[in-house]
Structure 1
Amino acid sequence: MSTTAPIVIDVISDVMCPWCFIGKRRLEKALMLLPQSTVKVQWHPYQLDATLPKEGKDRKKYLEDKFGGEERAKEIYAQVRAAGAAEEINFQFEAIKKAPNTIDSHRLIRWARSESMQDAIVEELFKLYFTEGEDLTDKSVLLDAADRAGLNSELISELLDTNQDVKEIESDVNRAHEIGVTGVPFFIIDGRFAVAGAETPETLAATIRHAEETKSGE
């Protein structure tokens, strides 16, 4: 009887979601609490706002439309900023000039899976957007992320000029809605247990441990 099969953690996320960045940090801490565990993390797409045009939208206008104005947005983001600081994330919301359509970012993450480099590209996209205020609809920014993560930026450049995997990303997003995902991050552990939101490392670790303890023998 094999006990070596990893626990698969499917993370449904959007790179323009600050709580998803926080959730990534908390998942990393959870895994540090489980040094004997073998896990495989897979990232899946979600779009907080699929209505955004491909070129994105002026962030000030986006915040006015979504929250009723910049001041209200500041109140909401104060909690996010505090939670991020606790995870050593220095959110620079004021530096972000554009709310991006994230389809192309999700394509990068999808392409990174075959190279086992999803975590690296997700990390770079989060950093570029939230701590450097970069425009994730700008091809040069996406190529910078790919290069930083160690992906083949020349191949990525060629693929970004096509519609490769756009329909697949849209289908994955629709599938997330079909299974009841209404907010992200959303963690599916071993295909059996769901954790909605950026829960504490302890909660995530406990769920992973429970999945290990109840996993059927193979």
Structure 2
Amino acid sequence: MSAPLAVDIWSDIACPWCYIGKRKFEEGVRRFGGDVAVIYHSYELSPETPVDFDGSELDFLTAYKGQPRNVMQQMLDRVTEVARDAGLTYDFDRLQHTNTVLAHQLLHLARAHGRQTEMAERLFRAYFTEGRHIGRIDSLAELAAEIGLDPDEVQRALTAGEYLPAVRADQEQAQAYGIQGVPFFVIDGRYGISGAQDPDVFASALGQVAAELDGAAETVR
């Protein structure tokens, strides 16, 4: 292909399967071997969550899902194992559950500077591994500075809600696509893959779409 294959990913920084899906997708891209251009899009799993949630991740899940604590703890343990298999370290005891709308705005700002993939990785690691707070503007400015973005610009843009319309547009597009859970991957605007699939699933889908595009290009010639 002459141009990178476009992949749009809807995810939420507070979604443990989205970070796992990111790793599996990246491995799928490696196995595919071609050029891929990724754009991350906003999806809020629990937009009603306060910035400073009073409790642990276990407390939140127990209330949010209405399930017994032991059942939710087993789920967290299982997710931690799956994350470990993907090369990630999750620490739910340190995790600070929070609202992610500002983090989504930061991802749009980072995209405007060509640093969105790096910003997504930094936010996921800060949230799931390091126990950093990703719901406050000052904390997000610090994380943005770590990947080379201007913290003053981040402070100004997030305070003004400059990228909030872009977040809402992503959410409206997710509704139009019928997306009801994340991660969700859209390849070339036509093929959707839901969930943190095996890397071979991603590699196969990318290869199939690339072959179709190459075939169409040959037909035009």
Question: Would the TM-score normalized by the shorter structure come out above 0.5?
Answer: yes
Tell me how far apart the structure 1 counterparts of residues 55 and 205 of structure 2 sit (CA, whole Å).
36
Q: Which residue identity is paired with 1:8?
A: A
Partner of 1:75: 74
Moved more, 108-117 or 64-73: 64-73
Tell me how far apart the structure 2 counterparts of residues 167 and 29 of structure 1 sit (CA, whole Å).
32
Q: CA deviation digits over 1:117-175, x for unaligned, max 9?
A: 11100000001100011111122221121012221222111112112121331232132
Give the conservation status (yes or no) of the 8 Å contact 1:16–1:129.
Answer: yes
Partner of 1:21: 19
Tell me how far apart the structure 2 counterparts of residues 173 and 121 of structure 1 sit (CA, whole Å).
19
Q: CA deviation digits over 1:174-197, x for unaligned, max 9?
A: 320221111100000111111100
Q: CA deviation digits over 1:53-81, x for unaligned, max 9?
A: 3x242243422312335422211112211
Tell me how far apart the structure 2 counterparts of residues 57 and 176 of structure 1 sit (CA, whole Å).
26
Give the conservation status (yes or no) of the 8 Å contact 2:141–2:155.
Answer: yes
Instruction: Check if 1:106 corresponds to 2:98.
Output: no
Partner of 2:130: 132
Following superposition, which runs of at least 4 residues in structure 1 exceed 4 angstroms of deviation? Answer: none
Among 33, 38, 44, the alignment partner of 2:35 is: 38
Return the offset for 1:83.
0.8
* Structure 1 unmatched ranges of 5 or more: none
Give 3-state SS (helix, strand or coil) of 2:46's partner: coil
Partner of 2:53: 57
RMSD in angstroms over aligned alpha carbons? 1.5
Structure with more helix by fraction: 2
Give the conservation status (yes or no) of the 8 Å contact 1:7–1:39.
Answer: yes
Give the conservation status (yes or no) of the 8 Å contact 2:144–2:151.
Answer: yes
What TM-score results when the alignment is normalised by the length of structure 1?
0.92
Give the conservation status (yes or no) of the 8 Å contact 2:157–2:163.
Answer: no
Count of equivalent residues: 213
Return closer, same or farther for 1:10/1:69 CA change in 2, 3 Å cut-off: same
Among 42, 47, 51, the alignment partner of 2:44 is: 47
Instruction: Check if 1:192 corresponds to 2:190.
Output: yes
